[in-house]
Amino acid sequence: MTEAAMTSGNGLSLRVHARRMLTETVCEFDLRRSDGGPLPAFEAGSSLIVQTPSSERRNYSLCNDDRERHRYVIAVKREATSRGGSRSMHDEAHEGVVFEVELARNGLRAGQGRRHLLVAGGIGITPMMSLLRRLARDPLNAFRLLYLARSRAEAPYAEELARMGLGNALTFHFSAEHGGRRLDVRPMLKDNGTGTHLYYCGPGRLMYSIGMSSIHWPRIHVHFEQFSSLAGTRAGDEAFTVKQASTGRIFEVGGNETILDSLRREGLKPEASCESGTCGKCRMTLVAGEADHRDMYLAPEDRPSSIMPCVSRSVGGAELELDF
């Protein structure tokens, strides 16, 4: 790949200015324009869609201060079960390599309020970093970060966080230092009478525990980033049809394929990125029919009129009419 500046549309061609290993499995990438020009502003908690060297498109959280305009910083964990994305970032995204990126529409955005509880597990600290920096800038914000990991050596940004002078607002819990015992976060989620906003990200087990323990919280006070992929299909899924609103064309969606799979099989090229129901890139307008929503992106108020075709389906095998 050759160096380039800004591309057309919402995309950018960015160069790896620097990289460093945060842990044995997590690498940080400092991405900049080749001409040194400014980058589009981003909101703290946002993520970046990256066309990795393997050509897989992946979402990575922006970790740097949202006031910075000269760079985007992401941290990528090398996954043992990688389909190519994280592995290619570690093995091929060396200094000087250029690839396409795009600011994503999803992310862990700050809620409207003054009290905030952040819970991160392992690599789940990445979406918290820019958010934490923003919260810490305003002395009126009361916040606490609880960072859970197996050990300090396996905790990205642990040293940087310790140097930020957060005092009692920062709590580390490394299970290796506690006989392997994980911290039970459920007691601190019992009461939301203070109007606290909750933010969480981490492994599936932690996500499930916090999700269930905060089920009684007002939904507008709960914010999370889901890293693990959602399955596009499940055992027992029924076949159904999709009608294209603009043309009336009918697409057959098999029980073992997604709506995106069906459209591609017929020669269409719908926009998509994560294909796990988390980034919002493939969002379509739901004109008619009842959708079986399986994504982690759409807000409740958006679900009657939108669908994420990478994971969501029809209820009961009935036809869906979509605008795409």
Whether pTM > 0.95 for this model: the answer is no
Find the domain containing 289 and state its range.
240-323
Q: Kindly state whether residues 94 and 122 are assigned to the same domain.
A: no
- Would the CA dihedral through 308, 310, 311, 315 be positive or negative? positive
Q: Same domain, yes or no, for 94 and 16?
A: yes
Residue 6, domain member (yes or no): no
152 belongs to a structural domain: yes
Average pLDDT estimate for 204-224: 87
Q: At 4, is the secondary structure helix, strand, or coil?
A: coil
β strands within the chain, DSSP E: 11-21, 26-32, 46-51, 57-61, 72-77, 98-107, 115-121, 142-149, 170-174, 197-201, 222-224, 240-244, 250-253, 284-288, 291-292, 306-307, 313-314, 320-323
Please tell me the distance from the alpha carbon of residue 298 to that of residue 278, in angstroms, as a whole number: 9
Both 192 and 249 in a single domain? no
- How confident is the prediction for the chain on average, in pLDDT? 88
pLDDT value of position 58? 85
Cβ contact 100:13 at 8 Å:
yes
- Domain match, 88 and 119 both: no
145, part of any domain? yes
| Total tally of structural domains belonging to the chain | 3
Question: For residue 235, which phi and psi values (nearest 5 degrees)?
Answer: -60, 135
Q: Which of 64-68, 192-196, 250-254, 301-305 has the lowest mean pLDDT?
A: 192-196
Q: What is the pLDDT of residues 51-102, one digit of tens each?
A: 899 888 888 999 999 999 999 999 999 987 666 789 999 999 999 999 999 8
